[in-house]
Amino acid sequence: MNSEYFDRGRELRSRLLGKTHTDKVLTTADPTDLAVQQLVTEFTYGAVWSRPGLALQTRSLLTIALLASQNRIEVLKQHVGGALNVGVPREQILEALIHILPYCGVPAMVGSVAAAKAVFRERDEAEAQQNPDSKEAP
């Protein structure tokens, strides 16, 4: 394991998917899963996501489109949340999902939009619980 890539990957993965999620997958995994999670952290986030050629928001939108095209709904939901965490507006997330329509078809687009809307609802509900004095959720 390359500790420079792993450390960079852990930091980026925590920023994108949340420290709680990242710590959990790295500390509660059995030995086989731990090896996989270390590799994902080191390579995916430490080597690929950390490259300088694209902004983090762009990488998030690309990842969302790729996951939607493959019907990977659970991981898509994680990355919709991650995109929100790094400042991608909801409108851009939905546009990325609409953009897959001519290339991947209606079922991929509709299912992915439904998944994104579920993440948006969860965020709105969590924010409303944290800010009960707020009249409207964003």
Condensed to tens digits (0 to 9), the pLDDT of residues 94-112 reads 999 999 999 999 999 999 9
**Chain centroid, CA 3 distance in Å:** 23
User: How confident is the model over 40-57, as a mean pLDDT?
Assistant: 96
pTM exceeds 0.85, yes or no = yes
pLDDT score, position 133: 77
Which ranges in 1-138 belong to alpha helices (H)? Answer: 3-17, 19-27, 31-39, 56-69, 73-85, 90-99, 101-104, 106-130
pLDDT score, position 134: 63
Lowest mean pLDDT among 10-19, 77-86, 110-119, 125-134: 125-134
- Which phi and psi (to 5°) does residue 44 adopt? -65, -50
| 136 has pLDDT over 60 | no
User: Is the separation of the CB atoms in 8 and 44 below 8 Å?
Assistant: no
| 40 has pLDDT over 90 | yes
Instruction: Tell me the percentage of the chain whose pLDDT exceeds 90.
Output: 86
* List of domains in the chain: 1-52 (no CATH), 54-138 (1.20.1290.10)
pLDDT score, position 31: 87
